[in-house]
Every structure is written in C-alpha cells, then in structure tokens.
Chains A and B, each alone.
Chain A
Amino acid sequence: AQSVTQPDIHITVSEGASLELRCNYSYGATPYLFWYVQSPGQGLQLLLKYFSGDTLVQGIKGFEAEFKRSQSSFNLRKPSVHWSDAAEYFCAVAGNTGFQKLVFGTGTRLLVSP
C-alpha cells in the first residue's frame, strides 16, 4: 500500500523568500502524486499533480514540484512566498492502477512572516 511522509509539521518563511515543502512517498511503482492546499476551515484545492512525463510540474499560484524517483520525493517549491500562501499543504499519492483513492500525508503548516 502507498504511504506519504511530510517530515515538516510547521515551516515559517519570510514574505518574498523561497519555499520548499518536502514530501516522500512509498509505492512499488510510479505513483500519481498531488499537492493540495487547505485554508483554515476550507476544503482542499489542487495545486498540481504528476502522472508521467516531465518530472518538473508547474501548478497554480506560482508553485512547482519535482518528482525524483531515486529519492521517492515530490517536493513543492515556490520562488517567492506571499502572505496569502499561509495555509496547510498536503501531499497525496494514488496508485497508478485504476486510480481509486488518495492517501494523504500529515500536512505541513506554512506560516509567512512579514
């Protein structure tokens, strides 16, 4: 079964600084990988996803993520963080056979300081 690890519970970044959120997955083959963002009391919004092809994936709001098979990682990055990026970020994985259910990581809470 697939699993996801987000090692950072909290991260604080200064506004304008770069951001990298870590995500490691466990799956026997190449999985489908996702990053979602959740604002307080809200549902989830998809930032980006990786299925195959180019390992560097561009998403909405200026985010990107890179799939590294050798490291079983799918880290999320943004070159310049805005105060509105403060939220909870979830990495998720789904198996690539029939795409049934997502398994989520524990999430990383991003705080943006002035």
Chain B
Amino acid sequence: GAVVSQHPSWVICKSGTSVKIECRSLDFQATTMFWYRQFPKQSLMLMATSNEGSKATYEQGVEKDKFLINHASLTLSTLTVTSAHPEDSSFYICSARGRLGVIANTGELFFGEGSRLTVL
C-alpha cells in the first residue's frame, strides 16, 4: 500500500516558538492532503485540507494564521504551528490522497504516523 511519512514523530518546544511538521507521500503523488488534530483520548478533528499548488481550506474554528499549511509539491505538505503555546500541544496527523484514477478511486486515505507536539 501507499506510504505516508511524518516528521518529526515528536517534538518539544518552548512557548512562543514555531514548529514545522512535514508530511510526505513516499511512493505516490498526493494531490490532496488533510491535517488532523487529536487530543488525548479523543477523536481526530479535521483542521484543514490542502491541495497541491493552492491555498489550504481550513475548517471552522481553526486559525489559519496560527496553523500555516503549505502543499508546495505533490509529495510534501507542511504544517507550521506559529508562536506555539501549551494549548497547542497535541497529536497531529496527516493523511494523503493520490491522483484521481490511481489511489483516489478507492476512496482510501493513507495516514502518517502522527507527530506529537509538546509546548512547554
């Protein structure tokens, strides 16, 4: 199956700093990537949808200036948490969908391993 890799898998940072999380599709071209946030013992909440070469679409209540998403290539999307605060500590998961006619036809999304952010 298709592989999606996230990096880093965990990161600790000081309050006020910015953190970048990468999401890469290793063996397919991901035209669409989704970023989710998961609080402890809770479900995944969709933050935003990013399409390659265009601006991300954010879900209601998600601050686009706080969570910067860039999908500059067909294999890479990045999530930057700007001026991080302790309340931003969470598990961030990306998922990717390939080009129509390849993987997307199955309707399956492939998920990364997740990135745990802890803001001190």
Contact = CB atoms under 8 A, between A and B. Distances in A.
A72 to B, nearest CB: 19
B34 A101 contact: yes
Nearest to B59: A101
13 contacts: A41-B114, A43-B111, A44-B44, A45-B111, A49-B106, A49-B107, A51-B107, A94-B107, A99-B97, A99-B104, A101-B49, A102-B34, A109-B41
Interface of B: 4, 6, 34, 41-46, 49, 91, 93, 95, 97, 104, 106-109, 111-114, 116
Interface of A: 32, 36, 41-46, 49, 51, 90, 94, 99-107, 109
Given A41-B116, A43-B113, A43-B114, A99 B107 contact: yes
Contacts of A100: 49
A45 B95 CA distance: 11
A103 B111 CA distance: 14
Contacts, number: 49
B62 to A, nearest CB: 13
* Chain B interface main SS type: strand
A62 to B, nearest CB: 18
Contacts of B97: 99
Contacts of A106: 42-43
B116 A101 contact: no
A32 B105 CA distance: 12
A44 B111 contact: yes
A25 to B, nearest CB: 14
B42 A102 contact: no
A105 B109 contact: no
A43 B109 contact: no
A45 B104 CA distance: 16
A102 B114 contact: no
Q: Which 3 A-B pairs have the closest CB atoms?
A: A44-B111, A43-B111, A43-B113
